[in-house]
Chains A and B, each alone.
Chain A
């Protein structure tokens, strides 16, 4: 073949015009491809920014600052009569004990407001810690021990570097005198940090350093349990009916259209339904996981039905016909053969639906699960809150320390979601059958 490409000013396909045109089209092709890739990268960058902003704020929620102090369990303060009566010990003035040990550490602090600032270094929780110690072991009375006490949220924030020391004193939460005390404690090695186990064992609290997500986790568990117990059987039964038994008629078409539409109803509308039906008509308890679970079950139902139908439809007809040929009834074919074969797909869909329900907030706001609840719920009728709602509540709190708690709670919630989705993927990979 003759090589024409080196010649310029040719005619036809080889003319300057066509060459330029081809080069332009190739450039435009490249550009288009880059724009597409750019779109994907932008979306992924946004995801990365979101994750980074949560994680960089949140990881400190798993660390807690304590102050280690020498505490004298002064008998004159906590057990004046010397009876060691548990009831008297329970109601003794442990706050005084904490204050005394702080004053012993900083003997030169005088004046009411200065002292109040000094006592503010420690959390209110400190006196409870001491009480628990004494209740557990009354022998301690009269001794002097080095005890690690929970620091207040300002000290905690300063220690984690969230409070800027260079700021003007008026704009700073931690004043100069407090900085002096904290630095002196730090020099002596009395400021210690630990893994924040209280974050996983405490209920909600107005004090950021004491607030934990245990209550919300238990609430989420009960709510999700109710959701699962209702939506899984009902969803699977509906899917079986529609796929295996329903004759094509107006009524079954109505059910089908209806399910598709329910899947797209905004979640907040389900909250209003729950409010109107479960609270106002049926008078079920407000703020309870029972009502939350019922509402979320109605919301999750379409997801489960749609996924289950797809799984059931994927089972080939030959299975049904073989069963029928061996004398099984239609129901036996469906329940003994089709259902077990489609179970992995159904379970995958159910887990994904439940993961959605776990992250859902809006409908639960409507049925009163936003109340401040410090106790860990003991059952499905106790007032409770759930993890996303807890995140919402903390995100609204003004204290700086709650920002870190919010991010920390988000990290835990995301961990649960990742776990559930990983389980779904595992089930699909492990048991999926291609026919």
Chain B
């Protein structure tokens, strides 16, 4: 029996159970008066749940069985898959149904048992997010350990040369490639730095103007417009950076006699900064709003102008929160992928010159994993090591930022 007929049979069975259960409960109601607390459809649900739960548990075994690398020949495997599990599943469903209907009676605490099942489901749903984290950590860690068996850790963290291209033949010279990731980290930092130089002043000043000067009408129009910048997919920014900004910078550069490559760090960083403006501005907006009005009033009362209040009272008071916001923006910039994949270079280049092409961690992850993957070569595994570094760095930045922001909020609560 294939999957869909089995599923339909199961659902029909539980629907029948629902109908029969509520019917029986209704019948019982007519005979006695002490049988009224739960409503009839709850008895139906109770039966339906009992019809579905056993095959569901069996289904989990089924999936585990299929994933497990058991050495069975195809015929047996198919037999088990096509006959054994479906039949067992339907039997389990029928058994659960039968037992549940027999249990219907005045003593059955039906609401309680339904709610226990629902509670279990809710907990299971919550655990999925934990499983996701565990999955990320383990899948990255596992491949990274494999990687460090092939490439020494000292080379990865302190090497200055990155060229993961492994040769086609194993006996060729330099077939192992070079995995020094310093150029990637510096490239990432350079682009992030440029992005922050664009995003922090623009975002922060916008937020100050919005909170301290703008009228409500201005706010209600401009704020959503700024948020559009955050809603545009990153691939669109990448296209813009590569085809418009990169080319524009190159042409301007050649017009005034400076050599700017079209994949310069400046183009990628600038566009990334553009993307992050609303992120910085809305976070700082919240934080500036959280500064108590009494501080402002005190400053105005002493005769300070608005700008003096902002510079000498509000910004110092909001500084920890703003630092937190900037850290969050940095972590966002470090993890950003599509803009740099499309607008930055692929060649690792150890330089601090924003007019040259640099590469980043995310670009290399994409470069290493798109196309053929061999999970026994250092080239593919290197991507996981890079991703683990990326994951840890962004995680730390976020945790620090969240702690800073929380401390800041508590101060003014």
Contacts and interface: CB of A to CB of B under 8 A. Distances in A.
B295 interface: no
B222 interface: yes
A269 B391 contact: yes
B38 to A, nearest CB: 10
Interface stretch (B9-17, B74-82, B239-247): B239-247
A205 interface: no
A234 B366 CA distance: 29
Given A44-B225, A264-B331, A359-B233, A255 B126 contact: yes
A42 B198 CA distance: 11
Contacts of B140: 269, 272, 276
Contacts of A362: 234, 337-338, 341, 362, 366
B229 interface: yes
B121 interface: yes
B383 A272 contact: yes
Interface stretch (A24-32, A139-147, A311-319): A24-32
A229 interface: no
A272 B310 contact: no
B362 A414 contact: no
Contact of A414 (B236, B240, B332, B337): B236
A50 B232 contact: yes
B17 to A, nearest CB: 21
Contacts of B235: 359, 361, 388-389, 391-392, 395
B236 A264 contact: no
B309 to A, nearest CB: 10
A220 to B, nearest CB: 11
Contact of A43 (B67, B212, B277): B277
Interface string B279-292: 00100000000000
A407 B238 CA distance: 12
A281 B128 contact: no
Range for the number of chain B residues in contact with chain A:
35 or more
Interface stretch (A86-94, A179-187, A237-245, A427-435): A237-245
Interface centre among A35, A36, A331 (most CB of B within 10 A): A36
Given A54-B240, A359-B235, A277 B135 contact: yes
Interface residues of A, number: 83
A254 B126 CA distance: 11
A264 B398 contact: yes
B226 A282 contact: no
Interface string A27-66: 0110111011111101110110110011000000000000
Interface of A is mostly: helix
A177 B127 CA distance: 69
A262 interface: yes
Contacts of B391: 265-266, 269
Contacts of B127: 255
B139 A329 contact: no
Contact of B130 (A33, A39, A255, A264): A255
Contact of A417 (B233, B238, B362): B233
A305 B136 contact: no
B394 A266 contact: yes
B236 A258 contact: no
A115 B311 CA distance: 74
A33 B206 CA distance: 10
Nearest to B204: A39
Given A46-B274, A395-B239, A359 B308 contact: no
B308 A36 contact: no
Interface stretch (B111-119, B179-187, B252-260): B111-119
Contacts of B335: 265-269
B208 to A, nearest CB: 5
B261 interface: no
5 contacts: A39-B209, A40-B205, A46-B277, A237-B126, A238-B129
